[in-house]
């Protein structure tokens, strides 16, 4: 039995590879819709151990601080991961989300409605402060955020789950209007999600894998309340939602008067909000995806099939790492690119 389990464990990456190849690539650079697949815009711009000579030990410092913080408060892992997601989908991974608004200028991304519930910025500030003392004007806020997100998720495994390629510089522009326009919504359908991801060179496999980040963290009831109480505007519940799960959510989200309490929270993965595993996909295939955007994955045959493969934790974790490398390289700025700099303070342009 042990040998059989070991055999299955090593077989799943091969199965995943075949599924991904079948669904997305025909071997000549085309996807199943006949569209040419573009190479990542980051290709060749970033590298492993970028700070090996300019700031030795920089990545170790990030990991040590993040692991210490997550050990004390496990909820920081999904928070830092979410900040990284929200940064990369607007202007690319340039730390523009970290900028504060400045009086008399345009409102920054941080104050856009989808970003108001984000937290964990103080962790990035602390890391930046220490690295600036050690290696002034060297390590970008964008790289710190990318490393911190990886290390926050990796803490429970006591090893890095994926490689982080570094060498980013920080953007100087941050606009709330762009965040409102470009961030995937919890209420989005599959067509919208696929379009937003494709605009960042992310395919359907990446879409499904990165949605798996919902296996950790919590959500406010107000974000998905319409699915529970007023799905079509007639006081009804989304019929695609598992009835028992819908009842559970109503009990958790309602106050004593049985009206929705928008500030109440629930775990995004009903199997548990702290363990980074395939529980999200196990729940999703039982119609227990919390958001409309989760349930949307089941409306597309290819995405639904990929989700079924990701019920195996090994397959999910392997692909999640690959998709994170792609996502964290969206439209990156590097030394020499216009509009980039190494910020001294992650909240302010130099």
Query: Any idea which residues carry the catalytic annotation?
Result: 86
Listed as own residue / partner, the contacts of 66-74 with beta carbons closer than 8 Å and 24 or more positions apart are: 66/123, 66/127, 66/147, 66/148, 66/151, 66/152, 66/155, 67/151, 67/155, 69/123, 70/152, 70/155, 71/155, 74/274
Which residues are documented as binding site?
87, 90, 92, 94, 96, 184, 214-215, 269, 277
DSSP codes of every residue in 97-161: GGPPP-TTSPPPGGGSGGGTT---HHHHHHHHHHHHHHSTTTS-HHHHHHHHHHHHHHGGGTS-S
Q: For residues 197 and 206, is the Cβ–Cβ distance under 8 A?
A: yes
CA distance 129 to 150: 20
Which residues are documented as binding site for heme b?
214
Which residues are documented as binding site for substrate?
184
CA 106 distance to own-chain centroid: 26
Q: For residues 102 and 147, is the Cβ–Cβ distance under 8 A?
A: no
Q: For residues 324 and 150, is the Cβ–Cβ distance under 8 A?
A: yes
Start-to-end CA distance of the chain, whole Å, equals 61
Structure token digits, residue 189: 């359908």
CA distance 170 to 167: 10
Which residues are documented as binding site for Ca(2+)?
87, 90, 92, 94, 96, 215, 269, 277
Region of residue 259 (left: phi > 0; alpha: psi -120 to 50; beta: else): beta
């Amino acid at each position: 039995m042990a040998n059989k389990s070991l055999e299955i464990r090593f077989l799943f990456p091969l199965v995943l590879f075949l599924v991904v190849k079948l669904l997305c690539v025909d071997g000549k650079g085309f996807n199943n819709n006949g569209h040419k697949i573009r190479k990542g815009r980051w290709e060749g711009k970033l590298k492993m151990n970028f700070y090996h000579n300019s700031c030795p030990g920089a990545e170790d410092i990030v990991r040590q601080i993040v692991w210490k913080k997550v050990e004390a408060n496990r909820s920081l892992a999904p928070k830092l991961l979410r900040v990284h997601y929200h940064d990369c989908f607007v202007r690319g991974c340039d730390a523009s989300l970290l900028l504060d608004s400045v009086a008399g200028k345009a409102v920054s991304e941080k104050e856009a409605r989808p970003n108001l519930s984000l937290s964990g910025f103080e962790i990035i500030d602390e890391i930046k402060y220490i690295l600036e003392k050690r290696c002034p004007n060297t390590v970008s806020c964008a790289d710190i955020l990318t490393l911190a997100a990886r290390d926050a998720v990796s803490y429970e495994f006591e090893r890095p789950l994926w490689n982080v390629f570094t060498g980013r510089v920080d953007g100087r522009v941050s606009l709330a209007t762009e965040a409102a326009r470009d961030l995937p919504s919890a209420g989005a359908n599959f067509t919208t999600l696929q379009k937003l991801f494709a605009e960042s060179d992310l395919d359907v496999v990446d879409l499904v894998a990165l949605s798996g980040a919902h296996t950790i963290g919590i959500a406010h009831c107000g974000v998905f309340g319409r699915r529970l109480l007023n799905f079509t505007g007639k006081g009804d519940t989304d019929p695609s939602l598992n009835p028992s799960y819908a009842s559970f959510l109503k009990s958790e989200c309602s106050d004593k008067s049985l009206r929705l309490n928008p500030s109440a929270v629930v775990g995004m993965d009903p199997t548990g909000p702290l363990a980074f595993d395939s529980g999200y996909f196990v729940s999703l295939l039982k119609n227990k995806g919390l958001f409309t955007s989760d349930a949307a994955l089941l409306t597309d045959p290819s995405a639904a099939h990929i989700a079924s493969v990701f019920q195996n934790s090994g397959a999910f974790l392997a692909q999640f790492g690959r998709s994170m490398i792609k996502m964290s390289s969206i439209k990156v700025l590097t030394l020499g690119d216009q509009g980039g700099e190494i910020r001294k303070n992650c909240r302010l342009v130099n």
